[in-house]
Amino acid sequence: MNQTTAFQQVSEFILSTFQDTLKEPSGELHHPYISPGGPYATNLWDWDCYWTLYAIFKTYDRRGNAAGIEALRKYACGTLLNFLEHQGKDGALPIELMITDADRFDCLKSADNNMAKPFIGQLASLLFEYGQLSKEELVKILPQIRAYHQCFFNRYLDRRTGLIFSAKDWGLGVDDDPAVWGRPYKSCASLFLNCFLYCDMQAAAELAAVCGDGDTELFEKSNARNIADAIRKYCWDEREKSFFSVDLQCNVNLAQLKNTLLNKNLETFWHCLKLKILSWNCILPFWASIGTKEQFDAFIRENFTDDRLRSDYGIRSLSCDESMYAPGVKRGNPSNWLGPLWIIATYLTVETLKKYGHTEEARKQADGCIAMLARDLEKNGTFHEYYLPETGEPVHNPGFMSWNALAALMG
């Protein structure tokens, strides 16, 4: 099958079957919404819904399908309203909404739990861009978006570094990220959380400017800038030529031994330690335009290689030279991000490669991903949640759509 035919098959499959992920109101979900499909068919997840809508809006836009965009209105707006309707008093939003439980992870009940990943500002921005929300509607919801962002700083801010940490090791997005999962609570400021919060606040700042809300625009811009500065300062490793998540457990341990107080003459002035685990998360500061072209060129040269992150079908979610590498494991709760190929990771990598001038490699990655999905359709009649880097064979969860819809933008 040639590449053009493969892309046509993949994109047509996406546009014909994503309709199955559009859901009507039911139970705790009071508005229409979009689900990830497959085993998650009746659930509303935070970052899944954003990337699915992003993919479909932009695909329709490329094709000049204004009617298709308009037909999504009630599901797109309903998705956002379902989250905002269940906002906590401190601004927290749920990670997942189910028909029977609007806050499965108890995000609203305790500041010691995680909350929705930072995509609500970006979701509102996407809906405004495609005419799903009016300026008047934005004015009404902007205070809720600001309260949600303020909640990150109230709950999860590490004041020494200015980075945001995860409270727990579940509901992370990258479920089993070794930098966070299985490690002490409140100990890690991950690239995933901080980079996407930066993007979310940037999006909210632009919406505030549209609404003429100068105070909120300043709040969002200044805090986004502080996060970007902290990522540049604490997360880049010049020796490894990569950004990394960081451990925040650098504290002075004073100890009284007889009549001597030990450790009193040194402060942990370095504030954090880099968790040098090479994964697709290391791309995110470049996706967010926080890293420089010089840094990205060095990262690609040193780390985007066949014996680390690169495969012929996309980017490995974890470098194959890490001891945790286990791409063939079929697992949920937590999902397996220890090496298999996820379409969301490959899409962001392809776009980042293009942005920094690596167009030939971007094309190779996109073509490999499309060929893999086309083969899955030919053999199994559907997409899967993730795939083996070495062969492109599917691993788990047939029927999964969600951000796999981003493949329609890779042609």
Question: Among residues 176, 156, 157, 82, which one has the least CA distance to residue 115?
Answer: 156
Cβ neighbour number for residue 378 with a 10 Å cutoff: 11
Q: Note the pLDDT of residue 366.
A: 98
186-219 pLDDT, tens digit per residue, is: 999 999 999 999 999 999 999 999 999 999 999 9
156: pLDDT confidence band, cut at 50, 70 and 90?
Answer: very high
Three-state secondary-structure class, residue 129: helix
Rounded Cα distance between 292 and 231, Å, is: 12
Rounded Cα distance between 180 and 47, Å, is: 18
| Average pLDDT value for residue range 154-161 | 98
The strand pairing partners of 400, in sequence order, are: 37
Rounded Cα distance between 148 and 168, Å, is: 18
258: pLDDT confidence band, cut at 50, 70 and 90?
Answer: confident
75-91 pLDDT, tens digit per residue, is: 999 999 999 999 999 99
Q: How far is CA 17 from CA 37, 38, 220, 382, 388, in A?
A: 10, 11, 37, 9, 24
Domain covering 3-409 assigned CATH 1.50.10.10 in the classification:
yes
94-112 pLDDT, tens digit per residue, is: 999 999 999 999 999 999 9
**All residues at 6 or more sequence positions from 382 whose CB lies less than 8 Å from its CB, including other chains:** 376, 398, 399
Nearest 5°: the CA angle 136, 27, 141 is: 15
Question: Among residues 137, 141, 92, 95, which one has the least CA distance to residue 121?
Answer: 141
- Per 3-state DSSP, what percentage of the chain is helix, strand, and coil (rounded to 5)? 45, 10, 40
Q: Note the pLDDT of residue 38.
A: 78
Q: Average pLDDT over the chain, rounded to whole?
A: 96
Burial of residue 267 (CB within 10 Å: 0-12, 13-18, 19+) is exposed
Q: Note the pLDDT of residue 382.
A: 97
Question: Among residues 398, 330, 309, 336, which one has the least CA distance to residue 176?
Answer: 336
Rounded Cα distance between 359 and 42, Å, is: 38
43: pLDDT confidence band, cut at 50, 70 and 90?
Answer: very high
pLDDT of 332 > 90? The answer is: no
Contact at 8 Å (CB) between 370 and 6? Answer: yes
